Amino acid sequence: MADGAGAGVCVAGPRRGNVEGIRKLSTSRPAIEVVGVGRTYGSGAKLLTALDDVSFTVGEGEIVALLGANGAGKTTLVKILSTLLLPTAGRVSVFGADAVDRVKQVRRQVGVVFGGDRGLYTRLSGRENLRFFGMLAGVSRAELRSRAPAMLDRVGLVDAADRRVETYSRGMRQRLHIAIGLLPRPRVLLLDEPTIGLDPAEAQRLRGTVSQLRRDGVSVLLTSHYLLDVERLADRVVMLRAGEVAADLPLDDFASFAGYAATVTVTIRHPLPELEPLLPAGVDVVARAETVEGTTLELRLPSWGGGMFGQLGSLLDRADVTDVQVRAARLEEAFTSFLARQA
Amino acid sequence: MGFADIVRRGGTVLDVVAMSARMRIFELLATPATLVLTVIQPAVLLLVVLLTGEGLTPAGTSALVTGVLLTAFWGATVRGTGAVLARDRAQGVLARTVTGTMDARLVVVGKGLGAGLLCIGQIALTIAAILLVLRPPMTVWHPGWLVVGLALALLSGATVGLLIACLFVLTRYAMQISSVLIYGVYVLGGMLIPPEMLPGPLGWLSSVISLHWLQEFLTGSATGQVDLSSLSMAVVLTAGYAVAGSLLFTRMVTRARSEATLDLV
């Protein structure tokens, strides 16, 4: 997607920013270092390998997305990083502190947002939950006094702060989880499905918050099935498959697994059977529909540059075009394509 | 670590304990079973022993009242603190509790203290109300020793609660174990049935139950004979429960992390 920076109307800005981020981070020390990590469950005939020789790093201020199909080992890895689970092989460290031997030091630096409906005291208010978990994370009383209201404001829960959590919607609970995760000012944040249950506006606000964290130097390991989160936030993608690292790539390189840069959907008033042979090389017609309004063609563009635009534009100038829609290749298409190739 | 750091750290520890206690009190107040255990049960027990007892002496009444107080407290302790960790796990908060930088045992002990405080308060009020109505002949405790005894009962309940809470998480037979613990201690604890009336081979069991010694102490202090050796035994046993509970908790978390046999999330 090197020449595709201008393609995605919605992603061009953030992606360009991410690339700069990677350049900046290339000299920074790793915030998270995962070296040859393995984890098995059970024993004997019932031995199940959840992770096998997994290695990768996350730089300071970098946002890395951990992707994989269900059962790929993402949750196991997040549990190991959050010190909930011990690895059976390999080493995990956070800013040099080993997650097995120096647990407390790791816990001081890592914030975790597990997400979902659970993980909160439902009979207590949002403020009480925030204060309690803040205290458990080692936030001092003085800091709690100043930061708890600020966090509630940041996630938009000021008005509901004194209501019992059992009255909260799923999105409000999720926002409270995020406030709890951010309250101790972690240097590393593990985000597990952060936008689950959030409406589009809330999800966008959360993405803004995470972007701000990157600017503050916080490293983020993001696990999400909503690939829009990954597309908007991540610098890099680590793809797990059957417990192994199947890919560790910059986001744009991973996105190229979709096999095309963009889709152009054109509606032409009159059928033009001769259009297809005239299309620039590499442009495929992937769908064609005849309706009373005319013919709708879905074209996939291999790259996204001035030349391609020019050729396509001059071609469409000859037709009676009634509608054109351009959409950048989505990350989920890259994800699906990658999994299919691996299979 | 300087003095200021120690003070700050101590303040945070107290905050965690107090907040955990408060949290458990709110939870129990919203649970109808609490009313049964802390109001109805002690009321019924006390009415039975007072209304059916003939020729009760003031000292005998004080012993019975102490027995009812501690018996009801024990039942409420097992139910109120035993389920703490299992409930936290069901709510999904246990993971965050054990991965905090503060010791998670403080949370369990805090919740045990909260449960104990609520239970002992409600039981004491229930008993006081019945005594005010029936006005049986009885000796009155020295307030200072009564406070010492009740405070130790509270502490003992919280530490034994830590032990039981771990046990409940580690086994799938929590309900059965809680019944054995509640009724076993009712019968063998010497709080309602004097230990000398128990079959010989079982008599020694009451000596490892802190509430038995607390009853000895509280009954003695009501009759003007302060039995410091009983108080010491209760202190020693409470410390023993604390150590055992602490070790079991550490074992539970270590096992959860290494063997993944407990899903803490």
Phi and psi dihedrals of B165, rounded to 5? -60, -40
**d(Cα B248, Cα A154) in Å, to the nearest integer?**
40
| Local structure of A86: helix, strand or coil | coil
- Residue A229: the pLDDT is 85
Closest approach of chain A CAs to the CA of B91, in angstroms? 6
Subunit contact B96:A116, Cβ cutoff 8 A: no
- pTM, two decimals, is 0.78
Task: Determine contact, residues A330/A262, Cβ cutoff 8 Å.
Answer: no
Task: Determine contact, residues B149/B218, Cβ cutoff 8 Å.
Answer: yes
Q: Give the residue carrying structure tokens 């009480």.
A: A128
Characterize the bridge pairing of strands A244-250 and A48-59: unpaired
Task: Name which of A271, A286, A289, A280 is nearest A314 in CA terms.
Answer: A280
Phi and psi dihedrals of A244, rounded to 5? -120, 155
Give the 3-state secondary structure percentages of chain A, helix then strand then coil, rounded to 5: 40, 30, 30
Interface of A with B (CB under 8 A): 41, 79, 82-86, 104, 107-108, 112, 114, 116, 118-124, 128, 131-133, 135-138, 140-141, 180
**In the predicted structure, residue B226 carries a pLDDT above the cut 90:** no
- A143-159 confidence digits (pLDDT tens): 888 999 999 998 889 99
> In A, which residues are within 8 Å of B257 by CB distance?
83-86
Local confidence band at A28 (pLDDT 50, 70, 90 cut-offs): low
> In B, which residues are within 8 Å of A196 by CB distance?
none
Nearest to A136 among B91, B96, B265 (CB): B96
Task: Determine contact, residues B156/B163, Cβ cutoff 8 Å.
Answer: no
Rounded to 10 degrees, the C-alpha dihedral A212/A216/A221/A227 comes to 20
Phi and psi dihedrals of A180, rounded to 5? -65, -40
Long-range contacts of A277-286 (CB under 8 A, 24+ apart): A278/A315, A279/A312, A279/A315, A280/A308, A280/A311, A280/A312, A280/A315, A283/A308, A283/A312, A284/A260
- A190-223 confidence digits (pLDDT tens): 988 888 777 888 888 888 888 888 888 899 999 8
Tokens of B180: 């054995």
> In B, which residues are within 8 Å of A82 by CB distance?
95, 99
Nearest to B12 among A121, A128, A135 (CB): A135
**In the predicted structure, residue A12 carries a pLDDT above the cut 60:** no
- Other residues' Cβ atoms within 10 Å of the Cβ of residue B236: 12
Mean pLDDT, rounded, for B173-188:
81
Q: How far is CA A235 from CA A1, A8, A172, A214, A245, in A?
A: 14, 16, 28, 10, 17
Mean pLDDT, rounded, for A160-183:
90
Subunit contact B257:A120, Cβ cutoff 8 A: no
Task: Name which of B76, B116, B62, B93 is nearest B238 in CA terms.
Answer: B116
Closest approach of chain A CAs to the CA of B248, in angstroms? 17
> Which residues in A193-343 belong to E strands, given as ranges?
219-223, 236-241, 244-250, 262-268, 284-291, 294-301, 321-328
Task: Determine contact, residues A73/A54, Cβ cutoff 8 Å.
Answer: yes
Choose, out of A84, A196, A223, the residue to mutate when testing the contact with B (most B CBs < 10 Å). Answer: A84
| Local structure of A56: helix, strand or coil | strand
- Residue B188: the pLDDT is 80
Nearest to A123 among B30, B104, B257 (CB): B30
Nearest to B91 among A83, A118, A138 (CB): A118
Choose, out of A82, A136, A143, A185, the residue to mutate when testing the contact with B (most B CBs < 10 Å). Answer: A136
Q: Give the residue carrying structure tokens 């009336």.
A: B197
Nearest to B93 among A41, A107, A119 (CB): A119
Angle between helices B84-91 and B58-82 (to 10 degrees): 30
Of A99-103, A332-336, B6-10, B253-257, give the range with the top mean pLDDT.
Answer: A99-103
Q: Give the residue carrying structure tokens 């009801």.
A: B72
Positive/negative CA dihedral, B149, B150, B156, B160: positive
Task: Name which of A117, A92, A100, A81 is nearest A36 in CA terms.
Answer: A92
Could you report the predicted ipTM of this complex, rounded to two decimals?
0.80
Tokens of A24: 């900046």
**d(Cα A213, Cα A196) in Å, to the nearest integer?**
19
**d(Cα B42, Cα B45) in Å, to the nearest integer?**
5
Task: Determine contact, residues A76/A52, Cβ cutoff 8 Å.
Answer: no
Amino acid at B134: L
- Other residues' Cβ atoms within 10 Å of the Cβ of residue A53: 14
Subunit contact B92:A114, Cβ cutoff 8 A: yes
Subunit contact B91:A120, Cβ cutoff 8 A: yes
Q: How far is CA A44 from CA A48, A49, A85, A92, B244, in A?
A: 9, 12, 20, 26, 33
**d(Cα B237, Cα B248) in Å, to the nearest integer?**
16
Helix (H) or strand (E) holding A38: strand A30-41
Print the SS3 string covering B33-91: HHHHHHHHHHHHHHHHHHHHCCCCCHHHHHHHHHHHHHHHHHHHHHHHHHCHHHHHHHH
- B140-153 confidence digits (pLDDT tens): 777 788 889 989 99
Subunit contact B96:A112, Cβ cutoff 8 A: yes
Positive/negative CA dihedral, B188, B194, B198, B200: positive
Q: How far is CA B69 from CA A232, B126, B215, B216, in A?
A: 62, 10, 9, 13
- Residue B1: the pLDDT is 67
Subunit contact B15:A82, Cβ cutoff 8 A: no
Give the neighbor-by-neighbor strand order of the sheet with A294-301.
A284-291, A294-301, A262-268, A321-328
Task: Name which of A310, A210, A299, A216 is nearest A260 in CA terms.
Answer: A299
Q: Which region among A19-23, A295-299, B6-10, B221-225 has the lowest average model confidence (pLDDT)?
A: A19-23
> In B, which residues are within 8 Å of A137 by CB distance?
100-102
- Residue A97: the pLDDT is 92
**B 225-264: CB under 8 A from A:** 256-258, 260, 264
CB pairs under 8 A between A and B: 84
Subunit contact A86:B257, Cβ cutoff 8 A: yes
Percent of chain B with pLDDT over 70: 98
**In the predicted structure, residue A1 carries a pLDDT above the cut 50:** no
Q: Which residue has the higher pLDDT, A29 or B238?
A: B238
Task: Determine contact, residues B159/B165, Cβ cutoff 8 Å.
Answer: no
- Other residues' Cβ atoms within 10 Å of the Cβ of residue A222: 23
> In A, which residues are within 8 Å of B27 by CB distance?
123
Nearest to A131 among B19, B102, B107 (CB): B19
Q: Which region among A55-59, A61-65, A144-148, B261-265 has the lowest average model confidence (pLDDT)?
A: B261-265
- Chain B nearest-CA residue for A140: B12
**d(Cα B136, Cα A69) in Å, to the nearest integer?**
72
> In B, which residues are within 8 Å of A131 by CB distance?
19
**d(Cα A243, Cα A76) in Å, to the nearest integer?**
9
Closest approach of chain A CAs to the CA of B93, in angstroms? 4
**In the predicted structure, residue A25 carries a pLDDT above the cut 60:** no
Closest approach of chain B CAs to the CA of A154, in angstroms? 22
Q: Which residue has the higher pLDDT, B33 or B129?
A: B129
| Local structure of A20: helix, strand or coil | helix
Tokens of A158: 């000021």
Local confidence band at B125 (pLDDT 50, 70, 90 cut-offs): very high
